[in-house]
Amino acid sequence: MNEKIEEKWKNIFELSPYFASQWRLLSLLYIKAAQDEDKTISGIIRDKYISLQREQYSKEGKIKNNLESNQVLQVYQAITESKNEEISYLPLFSFFIKFKFTLAKPYISKDDEEFYIIDNPVKKDKVFKVPMVSGSSWKGNLRWTSGKLLELKQDPKKQQRIRLQINKLFGHENEAEKKYFDSLLPEKERKAFEAELQKFTNRDGLRRATLHFYPTFFDQIDLEVINPHDRKTKTGKNPIYIECVPKGATGTFSLLYVPFDLIGHPVKEQKREIKKIFC
């Protein structure tokens, strides 16, 4: 049986040089072994996968090295580069921000795959399986950070102004967020905020965001290891592998601002409203 596994394993790298195809074929082998309750075979596949992640510069290390030349990254980069040219078609005062960054430490996230070769996979694109940060994750984290600014301000009027800015940029609040922010504002400022909020939301209190976040794709993938030690023997027996994007990997952050709610207003009024949001 081990020889058959080795044969199938070699075929994986002969069929396709791309990460997505390799991952899917590996997963099929692993799932089949698990369904047959063959822990020996599934263990072999798991160990082989881990060793390939570690062998960055070997011939078999395609799972990791291939991401650097992945066509998905090249296509995405071409799309984001074209945004600067297309910005002229958007409403007045729209802008597009894009910059590359390098990770100072490993990035760990949780994928929604129900079945994976290891227990802690990093989040990936559903089709091509490239490590990524989704646009919704960027939006949620930056909105949470903006909410922290609201907590730090002691002046109720400044809190009210920041809360309005958050709603205009990120969209309407969910129930939990609304309840918490209401508790930070005195009744007078809270009522003033609700009156102002009605001016740019619909009858249900909903508001579309003016900030649009794009996903970030990374060019590397690796494994972090946690090895819990026995308190008596001081040795580790069952290391826990966590898939990650390693330190030094690069990605691109992309953000689009479109003031759709100011379309048709006089230019001076648009300038005044945008100044309120960003200043």
Q: What are the φ and ψ backbone dihedral angles of 224, each rounded to 5 degrees? A: -100, 150
Residue spans of the domains in the chain: they are 1-68, 70-130+215-264, 136-209
Predicted TM-score of the model (pTM): 0.76
45-56: pLDDT as tens digits = 777 777 766 654
In which residue are the tokens 């949780």 written? 110
Q: Cα–Cα distance between 221 and 244 in angstroms, integer?
A: 6
Cα–Cα nearest to 20, from 58, 86, 76, 66: 66
- Rg (C-alpha) for the chain, rounded Å, is 25
DSSP 8-state class, residue 198: T
Give the tokens for residue 203. 């009858």
**Please, what is the average pLDDT of the chain?**
78
Question: Is residue 14's pLDDT more than 60?
Answer: no
Q: Cα–Cα distance between 154 and 13 in angstroms, integer?
A: 60
